[in-house]
Amino acid sequence: MVLLRIALGQRRFCAVAGEEMVSSPLQVVSLVLAVIGLVGTCAVTGLPQWSVTAFIGSKLVVFERNCEGLWMSCVQQATFRMQCKFYDSFLILRPELQAGRALMCTAVALAFLSILVAATGMKCTRGGIPDEQVKSRLLMGAGVLLILTGIVVLIPVSWTANIIVRNFYNPLVLEARKRELGEALYLGWATAGFLLAAGVILCCSCVNGQKRSYSYRPGQQGKQPPKQTTRKIPSMYSKSEFV
């Protein structure tokens, strides 16, 4: 029985070690996806192609293309020359652009913070925090932050796309004021997908790691049962009475 317990313990230890080796590459993959999401978030925030001119009328100038973003409006000519102008005031913007500015800046900060937290709590990171339980909690927090960042990116992108599509099919809106979905919106959806995938992978790796953790205590070998002590009962008769 003792040898069987030791063999089972060694088998469980090898299985846990192999699963931990698998979870470490998953953490690296999630970190790479998070970095891609951070770069995409910065690009979506700065690009002016949130809404572009819709060429649906005969009176529109085809060799010019108007673009509107969170920070500027641009005019792109057929010679690929682009002239941009920053908005004069934040208050003159439409509500979706005002909210988009605030949310996208928040998303950039959250993505950067989550990457720092994830890099600190990864198993392949040497030094800093030696406690594995604290590292697991940091990774879980980083995963939640990445999921939150993906949702924050998704809100202004989807909000702006909804307004563009609704105005496009609205007959009361003039053809000259109708817009189409710009390249920044598609990039925003892809960026949100990368961030959500990174957060889900990081959280799943942490949950699986916590389920696999256990404490193995081998049984005591050659354990002797406790000795039973017999208590002598004093006799009521004296020794002279037996003679």
Name the DSSP letter for residue 169: T
Q: What is the DSSP string of 46-111?
A: H-STTEEE---STTS-TTEEEEE-SSEEEEEETTS-EEEEE-S-STTS-HHHHHHHHHHHHHHHHH
pLDDT at 9 over 50: no
Angle between helices 183-212 and 95-121 (to 10 degrees): 30
Query: In the prediction, which pLDDT does 227 show?
Result: 54
Dump pLDDT digits (tens) for 31-53. Answer: 999 999 999 999 999 999 999 88
Query: In the prediction, which pLDDT does 16 show?
Result: 39
What is the dotted CATH code of the domain comprising 29-49+94-215?
1.20.140.150
The arithmetic mean of pLDDT across residues 139-155, rounded, is 93
Phi, psi angle pair for 92, to nearest 5°? -85, -5
- Give the Cα separation of 149 and 114 in Å (integer): 9
Lookup result for tokens 């004021």: 177
Task: Parse the chain into domains and list their residue ranges.
Answer: 29-49+94-215
pLDDT at 138 over 90: no
- pTM, full prediction: 0.73
pLDDT at 204 over 50: yes
The arithmetic mean of pLDDT across residues 18-24, rounded, is 50
